């Protein structure tokens, strides 16, 4: 299971941050579709530097 503060690589191909490394900020304990919030150093086209992912879409770098 993913833990807060852990560095992860993104595996979701349609994500702006595909293959980028980010830091886990929050892991929700409730049943949610995308329970892991990841923060990145670079921003996307809309100026956002965070996104939610499934645990299966993350791997350790």
Q: Is residue 43 a part of any domain in this protein?
A: yes
Strand 50-53, strand 36-39: pairing? antiparallel
Q: Is residue 33 a part of any domain in this protein?
A: yes
| Cβ proximity of 8 and 2 under 8 Å | yes
Give bridge partners of residue 52 from the DSSP assignment: 37
Q: Is residue 22 a part of any domain in this protein?
A: yes
Question: Residue 29 has what pLDDT?
Answer: 87
Question: Residue 34 has what pLDDT?
Answer: 94
Question: Residue 25 has what pLDDT?
Answer: 97
Its pTM stands at: 0.92
Q: Is residue 40 a part of any domain in this protein?
A: yes
Q: Is residue 27 a part of any domain in this protein?
A: yes
| Cβ proximity of 37 and 22 under 8 Å | no
Element housing 46 (H / E): none
Q: Specify the number of domains making up the chain.
A: 1
pLDDT digits 0-9 by tens, 1-60: 789 999 999 999 999 999 999 999 999 988 889 999 999 999 999 999 999 999 999 999
Phi and psi torsions of 57, nearest 5°:
-90, 5
CATH number at residue 24: 2.30.30.50
């Amino acid at each position: 299971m993913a833990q807060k503060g852990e560095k992860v690589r993104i595996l979701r191909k349609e994500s702006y941050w595909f293959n980028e490394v980010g830091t886990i900020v929050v892991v929700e304990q409730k049943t949610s579709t995308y329970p892991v919030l990841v923060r990145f150093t670079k921003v996307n086209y809309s100026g956002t530097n965070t996104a939610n992912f499934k645990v299966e879409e993350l791997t350790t770098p």
